[in-house]
Amino acid sequence: MRFTSVAAAFAVFAAAVPALAQPAPPPSPRAVATEVAQAVDQNFFDPARGHSIAEGLRAHAQAGDYDRLADPLDLATALSAYLHPYDGHFTVVYRPEIGTLPGEQPPGGRAGPGAGPRGAPGLQGAVARQNYGFVHTEMLPGGIGYIAVNQFAQIDPGARDDPARMAADAALQSVAGARAIILDLRDSRGGAPAMVAYLASYFVPANAPIFNTFHTRGAAGSEAPVGDPTGPRRLDVPLYILVNGGTGSASESFPYTLQAARRAVIVGEPTNGRANPGGFIRVSGGFAVFVSRGAPENPITHANWEGRGVQPDVAVASADALARAQDLALQRLLDADPQGPDAAELRWLLADSQARAPALRAPDLAAYAGSYGEEASISSENGALVLHRGRRAATLRPVAADLFVSALDPLMHARFERQGGRVVAVTLLTPMGPAARYTREGAAATP
């Protein structure tokens, strides 16, 4: 079943193939509103609600409420404002220059579930340039895998050489050695349920009964994945998903599904609340309306996130969500084996992460700056301390009084020593003990 989110559609408009013919002058606002109402009436997933919404819009049009809107963008905005409270995906756009809109149906045509092309060449290219949504992967300190996903691209899950599937596989393989995984969906704009199911299949057993059923006009279809993921399933790895108010549509389906299955911890802010997927339907004069053609039902909650959004398990400001998820992951790993070989490293990282040392002012930084023998020096640059050793330079972040952590190596501390209030030496520390000590030139320091 292939649906497209309206937010994902906007992200790729600029890359779409322009139509060859010049757009005709737009019809009257009353005619456009009436055609939009007809598209809603014929295609909204709930026929009774669709008819009611359409009748309300027709009444506004016949009353002349939109007659004064000569600018087509103003008309599109006004129609969107009327429709949006009824469904989070409702949007009217004026795009006469766009050849193919995501999920587009013929004017007046009735859209079936999963109808619509995979995407025009320009749309495909824009998604490919963003690596099919997998925009960043990294191994964070402590063995925590991090993957940022800005959209859920359309995928053919049955084809191993499908580029979107290959991008998903590569992202998961890049964190194959992770002891915990963080998936960052903050401001992720949605996309295809097929990618939701495929990515989720990495974290749940085969045939897990957790996936949505989409209800359309007179039909229903499952979001359950087709086949197995390419790589090994990560059934026991702790999983954290970051969300915020910019997380929408299919990007909400993923955390909602895994939260309901108790497979992931959701961290951040409530999501946008757009559950019902669909596609664009053209009307006259270069206008199009995005109409939801299906509604998901989770088999565990028997509901979805429309209007309400996905509620985080750990509520925290969006800007702090990654740091909080890292703390949660580190603490969980430490609790699982408090006497294990990595326990000292995990405690070290947790202490640094939870430290809330204030930023230092330039006069305070100057107290540390200077030459520390032939092998080391400390400088104050752009409001931060920088440790120089040979050709390496590492910014130092304060974690406590006279204690800093290296930005290059989070397992390296710089602890400064004072005599009579003056900094006289610096010792480099690791979780295993001291690594080196450097005496400041001109200081009579004693070990």
pLDDT confidence band for 24 (50 / 70 / 90): low
pLDDT in the model for residue 438: 96
pTM of the model: 0.85
Integer Cα distance of 1 and 178 in angstroms:
32
pLDDT in the model for residue 362: 77
Find the range with the poorest average confidence among 101-105, 255-259, 427-431.
101-105
Find the range with the poorest average confidence among 194-198, 317-321, 361-365, 397-401.
361-365
Q: Which amino acid is at 297?
A: E
CB–CB of 199/241 below 8 Å? Answer: no
Res 244 pLDDT > 70? yes
Please give the residue that has the higher pLDDT: either 170 or 361: 170
pLDDT in the model for residue 109: 46
Find the range with the poorest average confidence among 60-64, 109-113, 294-298, 414-418.
109-113
pLDDT confidence band for 384 (50 / 70 / 90): very high
Arithmetic mean of pLDDT, 389-414: 93
Please write the tens of the pLDDT for every residue from 356-379. 777 778 778 999 999 999 999 999
CB–CB of 157/226 below 8 Å? Answer: yes
Res 445 pLDDT > 90? no
Find the range with the poorest average confidence among 15-29, 151-165, 338-352.
15-29
Among 3.60.20.30, 3.10.180.10, 3.40.50.2000, 3.90.226.10, what is the CATH number of 121-279+292-334? Answer: 3.90.226.10
pLDDT in the model for residue 23: 52
- The residues near 312 (Cβ < 8 Å, ≥ 6 apart) are 243, 266, 267, 268, 269, 270
Res 447 pLDDT > 70? no
pLDDT in the model for residue 21: 55
Tell me which residue has tokens 């996130």.
305
Arithmetic mean of pLDDT, 242-253: 96
pLDDT in the model for residue 10: 45
pLDDT confidence band for 355 (50 / 70 / 90): confident
pLDDT in the model for residue 68: 96
Res 119 pLDDT > 60? no
Arithmetic mean of pLDDT, 219-242: 94
pLDDT in the model for residue 358: 74
Q: Report in angstroms the alpha-carbon separations of 377 from 386, 397, 403, 407.
A: 8, 16, 16, 16
Res 224 pLDDT > 70? yes
Q: Report in angstroms the alpha-carbon separations of 206 from 6, 35, 210, 212, 254.
A: 31, 45, 11, 15, 17
Arithmetic mean of pLDDT, 403-428: 95
Integer Cα distance of 297 and 18 in angstroms:
37
Please give the residue that has the higher pLDDT: either 122 or 401: 401
Please give the residue that has the higher pLDDT: either 8 or 177: 177
Q: Give the domain ranges of the chain.
A: 6-94, 121-279+292-334, 362-439
Integer Cα distance of 282 and 269 in angstroms:
35
pLDDT confidence band for 93 (50 / 70 / 90): very high
pLDDT confidence band for 26 (50 / 70 / 90): low
Arithmetic mean of pLDDT, 395-410: 93
Of the chain, the percentage scoring pLDDT greater than 70 comes to 89
Please give the residue that has the higher pLDDT: either 348 or 356: 348
Res 352 pLDDT > 80? yes
Please write the tens of the pLDDT for every residue from 278-315. 999 999 999 999 999 999 999 999 999 999 999 999 99
Strand order through the sheet with 295-297: 219-222, 213-216, 295-297
Res 6 pLDDT > 70? no
pLDDT in the model for residue 124: 73
Of the chain, the percentage scoring pLDDT greater than 90 comes to 79
